[in-house]
A = this chain, B = another copy of it.
Amino acid sequence: MTHIPDSHPRAASLRLRERLVEGLHAGVVSETGLIAHGRGEALDYLLGEQTHRFAREALTAASALLRLATHPVMTVNGNVAALVGPELKGLVQHHPWLTLEINLFHYSRPRAARVLEYLRHVGLPRVLHHGDCEHPAVLAGLESDRRWMHPDGVGRADVVLVALEDGDRCQALVNSGRRVIAIDLNPLSRTAQAAHVSIVDELSRTLPQLDQCLQRDQQTSRHELEARWHAYDNRVILGAATTALRTGIGA
């Protein structure tokens, strides 16, 4: 690991990159995962590497949806595991009702085992994996190994939080009747367009804010959460995010 001084203007971005390269060497991140991360870097750069108001609004809607859910699940892929292990640990410590399940784009059993081991090492020993049960559930509309769901995870989830997810899985989750929250830096992506709530922000920056939102909402009444969710309009949020991406000015 290279030493990156705190004073470096892009220290946070460079540290994330190091986490990712470490993940590649651990067999957790794929080569195309590195390229995908680069795409995210460019988008975050154009957004000024800051959490905009549209993302904060989406975060409060996400918090309401997760609080109102009967069985909320977050799915974790290789990039997510490599990038935000510590942040995920914090989230689950504060909100143990949130189930984690791995779901990999480039799936193989050995790779799934490496990702689970990586997460265990970070302090996340209880992450579901469809390969650990005899009869995994199937998400309709997907051909790849991403269609498998753990029956105690996404299989019975009513709200699913996905991050750095690709469009067809996000769409299939929406089509299945589940509510979907997506964390995605590209407001024009199929993922952001398909999700019910799109948090257009960098993952490691936004997860601790979601954590705080959820903590605040422990005291919020169900009635108030429902009112917040019904008042939320993802089209407006995506419009504001697209404007920010194009102009560099947050709405």
The answer to the question of A122 belonging to the interface, with a C-beta cut-off of 8 Å to chain B, is: no
Chain A 12-43 per-residue mask, 1 if CB under 8 angstroms from chain B, else 0: 00000100110010000001101111111111
Instruction: Give how many A residues have a beta carbon under 8 Å from the other chain's beta carbons.
Output: 23
CA distance A21 to B24 in the complex (A): 13
Contact of A38 among B24, B38, B248 (CB under 8 A): B38
Q: Among A21, A31, A43, which residue has the most Cβ atoms of chain B within 10 A?
A: A31
A31 and B35 form a contact (CB under 8 A): no
A38 and B31 form a contact (CB under 8 A): no
Q: Can you tell how many copies of this chain the complex includes?
A: 2
CA distance A45 to B38 in the complex (A): 13
In the complex formed, the residue of B with least CB distance to A17 is: B35
CB neighbours of A40 from chain B (8 A): 38, 42
CB neighbours of A186 from chain B (8 A): 42
B32 and A21 form a contact (CB under 8 A): yes
A-B contact pairs, 9 of them (CB 8 A): A24-B31, A34-B35, A38-B41, A38-B42, A39-B41, A39-B42, A39-B45, A40-B42, A41-B42
Contact of A246 among B20, B31, B34, B248 (CB under 8 A): B248
The answer to the question of A219 belonging to the interface, with a C-beta cut-off of 8 Å to chain B, is: no
CA distance A68 to B41 in the complex (A): 38
Given contacts A34-B38, A39-B42, A246-B248, 4 further A-B contacts (CB under 8 A): A31-B34, A38-B41, A39-B39, A39-B45
